[in-house]
Amino acid sequence: MNRKILSAFLTAVVLLGSFSSISLPASGAGNFIITNPYADVNWTTFRQYKAALHTHSTHSNESGMTAAVNGLDVMSERHYSLGFHVVAVTDHSRTTVSPDVVPANISADAIRTPLSTARMNAMAQGAGRGGAEGMIFIPNSNERSHTLPAITTDNHHVGAYFVDSTRSGSMSAFLSDFDTRNGYAVLNHPSRYVGAAWSDTTNKTTVRTIFNRESVWRPYADLYLNHSSLKGLEIVNEFDYDSQGTRILWDNILRQTAPAGKLVWGFANDDAHHVPTIGYTYNLLLMPSLSLDYVRTSMDSGAFLAFGRVDRSRDIYPVATMREQSNNRRDDSAIRRALDMPVPAITSISVGVDTVTVNARVSGANSTYPENASNMTIQ
């Protein structure tokens, strides 16, 4: 599926009103096949489950962390109160087998803040949600923070899920092992490793140039082609202040991998290190009901939407403010306003021989928030 076409669509969808259906022919000459990751989605009966797949806690043991603001228990509660259904706790190089278990290799001086088993079970049952489904955790989640060696840098972070990844060794050795054990890996925030953090409007050209450089994208493409467990790229991180260029990288990777039959899925993650940054950027998993098996199926097949309230946010909020909210862990009310803004919802996506059709609805929206229109990224 051509992501650029869909991105153009979504902008048009919201401009047209509260409900629209648009079909567009795929562009370009020559033979092609549009692969539809949503082919098995029943848009009438499936629900869209809110998933946080990259979030931290005091178990990452970074400076300034406190049990009150960064505790895994309070982070979990915040996700729950914001209606999340799926959470993967990804502390740096520490595998969270389950949120009620402290990672085995945690630092001696780290603040231990596991969720209680009783509360974890209550969340799974949907306690306090009036009969609605609850929230479950992906087992064995981790953000492996490699030091040596790596593809274009010596310090790439990798989201790892479902299978224990607490092993020493290089990133490629880890991925080779992960391949054999049916793990699931996602490369996180690549902008930071190739000098392409899109932090303001003045260096867009530079960022574009970097990610269009073959010496940058080819090592990534090769990594995806060489490792079956490597399935995703984090295309939106935090408030998106330095990850926009990643979509250029994504395009260049897919140009290499798609013809070889390997599709790379794009993920959107809060990468929250503290409570105030939860809820802006997440994934909507399209599933018939809430279960770990369906979560895995959705992530494997690409039947999900990467969603950000903050895409194009530089047009709304100053980059410096977003960075301050993230780095200094303050809770900026101007940014927090985004949590209450109406957002568009994709109601169906269908693919014909040479067309892609997207239906979208904006509940309670009005035209004063057109920026939300382009906040969704379809893969």
Name the residue whose CB lies closest to Zn ion.
Answer: 157
Q: Which is nearer to Zn ion, 150 or 358 (CB)?
A: 150
Segment near Zn ion (CB under 5 A), from 104-112, 142-150, 249-257, 355-363?
142-150
Give me the residue label for tokens 């809820």.
Answer: 279
Site for Zn ion in 185-214 (CB under 5 A): 188
Smallest distance from the beta carbon of 179 to Zn ion, in angstroms? 22
CA distance 349 to 21: 10
CA distance 185 to 296: 12
Q: Which is nearer to Zn ion, 23 or 155 (CB)?
A: 155
Which distant-in-sequence residues (6+ apart) come within 8 Å of 318 by Cβ? none
Asked whether position 157 contacts Zn ion by CB under 5 A, the answer is yes
Contact status, residue 363 vs residue 345, Cβ threshold 8 Å: yes
Smallest distance from the beta carbon of 147 to Zn ion, in angstroms? 13
Asked whether position 242 contacts Zn ion by CB under 5 A, the answer is no
Segment near Zn ion (CB under 5 A), from 67-75, 153-161, 346-354, 363-371?
153-161
Segment near Zn ion (CB under 5 A), from 104-112, 222-230, 270-278, 317-325?
270-278
Segment near Zn ion (CB under 5 A), from 181-189, 243-251, 305-313, 358-366?
181-189
Cα 6 vs. chain centroid, distance in angstroms? 18
Question: Is the CA virtual torsion 223, 224, 226, 230 positive or negative?
Answer: positive
Segment near Zn ion (CB under 5 A), from 123-131, 171-179, 269-277, 368-376?
269-277
CA distance 198 to 279: 22
Site for Zn ion in 343-362 (CB under 5 A): none
Q: Which is nearer to Zn ion, 73 or 234 (CB)?
A: 234
Sole binder of Zn ion in the list 271, 326, 349, 365 (CB under 5 A): 271
Q: How far is CA 298 from CA 39, 56, 62, 254, 287, in A?
A: 12, 23, 32, 19, 7
Q: How many chain residues touch Zn ion (CB under 5 A)?
A: 4
Which structure tokens are listed for 131?
A: 């009969």
Q: Which is nearer to Zn ion, 57 or 256 (CB)?
A: 57
Binding mask 53-92 for Zn ion (x = CB under 5 A): ----------------------------------------
Which structure tokens are listed for 230?
A: 């490597």
Phi-psi region of 126 (alpha: psi -120 to 50; beta: other; left: phi over 0): left
Q: How far is CA 159 from CA 17, 72, 359, in A?
A: 38, 17, 31
Interacting residue ranges for Zn ion, rule: CB under 5 A: 143, 157, 188, 271
